[in-house]
Amino acid sequence: MNVLITSKSFGHGTDGIEMLKDLGLDVLYRNEDLSNADIYIAGDERCGKEFFEKAKNLKLLCRRGTGIDNIDVEKAHKRGIIVTKVPSVMKEAVAELTFGLMLILSRRLLLNIESARCGRWEKSMGADLSGKTVGIIGMGEIGREVAHRAFAFGMNIIYYNRSRKENVEREYNAKYVEIDELMRDADFITLHLPLSGETKGIISKERLSLMKNSSYLINVGRGALVDEDALYSILKEGRIAGAASDVFINEPPQGSLLLDLPNFVPTPHIGSATIDTAKKMDNSVVMEIERFLRGESNINIV
């Protein structure tokens, strides 16, 4: 059987490729080989109508990630293709990145690092996290990990989710609020939602305008959760203190005006980009493929 890998992350720093070969699979890498692929390991690329028309022999599609908004699952099912995804093995890594970005913004680390590197030794004053209010939008597994860390930092926690998470409220003294109240009251707003018709553009121009001028927005969910044009305007006018994003509507965000702003911190979609997480993700994909080859039921089926 042939397995086609287009995910740039699979096998990067891991022995994922060797594990596939040990299963007796022939590994393909070129998009032109899609018609010959029995198994496909997908990254963030779009798998829609054109993709499935070319994938004539495809039997198993493994998404190396948790988000499946780039895959037309309905079309896959109609073709009898099994679709799997990786469970939330990256929750700790994404939560840690969230706090890294919060600290970069709150302590103005980029400016201070550059000042020290250039020998100016000029201190740019920042703000504490302790005692501040973090507003977590999306209290899934990643949101809960952020709450866990925020509690350890001595932050006040408010959150918005489709349903209340009373266990999180008890454990971290978190308070459930509606999203507009969160936008008004939080000093730091972190986004951890999947992308859907319901969540696309949820952080609109109107909601951004509710934020305090001392507050920060951190997006590690999906780029399209935020109206990027509105975010650019509000940052350029100094109506909020700053923002950071690991995700963009278009990736890479070539030509995005956000990249020119000193109060905006971009990262290249590195939420799960740690060696530890990469191994967990690759192992999960290989496990699904191995179960398929043995005729066993897959576990993380979409």
For 176, other C-beta atoms within 10 Å of its C-beta total 17
- Concerning whether 251 is annotated as a catalytic residue, the answer is yes
- Concerning whether 122 is annotated as a catalytic residue, the answer is no
Query: Exactly one of 108, 144, 269, 288 is catalytic; which is it?
Result: 269
- Give which of 77, 85, 8, 3 is closest to 40, Cα–Cα: 3
Query: Exactly one of 149, 222, 228, 288 is catalytic; which is it?
Result: 222
The beta strands (E) that lie in the chain are given as 2-5, 26-28, 39-42, 60-63, 82-85, 133-137, 156-160, 175-176, 188-191, 216-219, 242-245, 264-266
- Concerning whether 74 is annotated as a catalytic residue, the answer is no
Query: Exactly one of 18, 166, 251, 296 is catalytic; which is it?
Result: 251
CA angle 130–132–136, rounded 5-degree value: 115
Both structure tokens of 257:
């005006």
- Burial degree of 227 (CB within 10 A; 0-12, 13-18, 19+): buried
Q: Give me the active site residues, please.
A: 222, 251, 269
